[in-house]
Every structure is written in C-alpha cells, then in structure tokens.
Structure 1
Amino acid sequence: MTSLTESFKNVGVSRAYGEPIRLDGKELVPVALVSFGFGGGTEGGDPDAAGSGGGGGGFVFPLGVYTHDDGGRLTFRPNPLSLTACLVPLVCAVGFALRGALRARR
C-alpha cells in the first residue's frame, strides 16, 4: 500500500494539465480529466485471512488545450471528439425526458 501511495502522490493538477507544447509558433497546454481509484479488502475483515486482495485503475480523458488567440487572450479549445463523447449521454437523457413528458401529456 505504501508503494502505491508513493507512486500516485503527484496525481492531480500536474496530470490534468500537461507540459506546454509549441506548435506552429503557438504554445498549447493540454487539459485532461484524470481519475484514479483504488480499493482493497479481506474476507470477513480478518487481515490474516486467505481471501484478501486489492486493485486499482484509472483513466485520462483528453478535454482540449489552452492557447492564445489572435488577440493574445488565453482561450480554451475543446477536443471535438471528447466534446461529442460528453454530449451523447446528455442528448440521450434529454430525449428520454421529452419522450416521458410527451407520453404523460397523452
């Protein structure tokens, strides 16, 4: 457990915002949604029991980049693929809600 704690000490803001990249004379700062989770357990709460274990996992979801626009202002440019992936559940939820409202109206 201690080794897991040490290896994931820096997970957070430093992982969500990547190192600045220069591309075509512009500086880009990548932004991502980062999530990690860990768990463990034992059989019946007994730490010496044969049925004990643990695990963990995580994901990194690229959201877009921060860059300067032509006027020099800092702007966020979303990743179109990620934006689409985030909007699909929202559009489905709105569709189901509208369908339920129309059925209730009948």
Structure 2
Amino acid sequence: MTNFSLRIAELMTSSGIKSVYGEPVVVDGTTVVPVAAVQFGFGAGSGGDSGEDAPGGAGGGGVAVPFGAYVADETGVRFRPNLITLLAVGIPFMWVTGHAWARVIRALKK
C-alpha cells in the first residue's frame, strides 16, 4: 500500500511548475497562463508489524488557490489578479494591520 501512495505522490509532484503555472491557453490571439498555489498531501499506513497482510489504508488530497492569470496580447504581458482571492486575503490582512497600528499608536501615546 505504501508503494502505491508513493507512486501517486511522485506522479502529482512530477508536474512541478505546471501545477502552479497552468498550460497556456490561446483565445483570439491572446495567451492566458493561469497562476495558482498548489499543495498536495499523501499518507498510508498498515495495522500490524507482523509480516502478514494486515489492514491498512492510504489517502491523499490537494488544494489549489487561484491567484490570477498572466495575459499576453498585442499590448504586452500583464498579471490579472483573481479578485475573490485578493479579497479573501486582503480583508483579514487589513484587519490585522489596523489592529496592530492601533496598538502601536496607543503604546506611543503613553
């Protein structure tokens, strides 16, 4: 069972940079290259230490967070962010930053 999960892990990670930067797509003379953060996890185990076949299992999963895409056309190459991901990251970041600045200002007033 462990060899099976290792083979799957190697297969998933062998694509390397293509996991983060997808295959370019050309539409009406415009090339689009999607950009995402990709993470995979795999595990396996068995139920016994004896040399016999023991109950076991394996599992795996992955997540991809789309950041946006590089768009290349006659005007040049530019990055177009995914606004939903930008908001999902930006709103908590601004909240934490605001609270940190409030504490710094409060500490400087004393």
Uncovered stretches (5+) of structure 1, i.e. residues with no partner:
none
CA RMSD of aligned residues (A): 2.9
2:49 is the counterpart of 1:82: no
Q: Distance in 2 between matches of 1:99 and 1:80?
A: 27
2:63 is the counterpart of 1:63: no
Q: 1:60, CA displacement in angstroms?
A: 0.4
2:108 is the counterpart of 1:100: no
Uncovered stretches (5+) of structure 2, i.e. residues with no partner:
none
Counterpart of 2:23, as a letter, is: E
Q: What do residues 32-87 of structure 1 show as CA deviations (whole Å, max 9, x unaligned)?
A: 110112345689xxx5298x76643220011111111543x322211111111121
Higher-RCO chain (CA-CA 8 Å, sequence separation at least 6): 2
Greater Cα shift, 75-84 or 33-42? 33-42
Selected match of 2:19 from 2, 15, 20: 15
Secondary structure of residue in 2 paired with 1:8: helix
Q: 1:99, CA displacement in angstroms?
A: 2.7
Counterpart of 2:4, as a letter, is: S
* TM-score, normalising length: structure 1: 0.71
Selected match of 1:34 from 18, 38, 45: 38
Which residue does 1:6 correspond to in 2?
Answer: 7
Matched-pair contact (CA < 8 Å) for 2:42–2:61: yes
Counterpart of 2:38, as a letter, is: V
How many residue pairs match? The answer is: 102
* TM-score, normalising length: structure 2: 0.69
Work out the percentage of aligned pairs sharing the same amino acid.
39
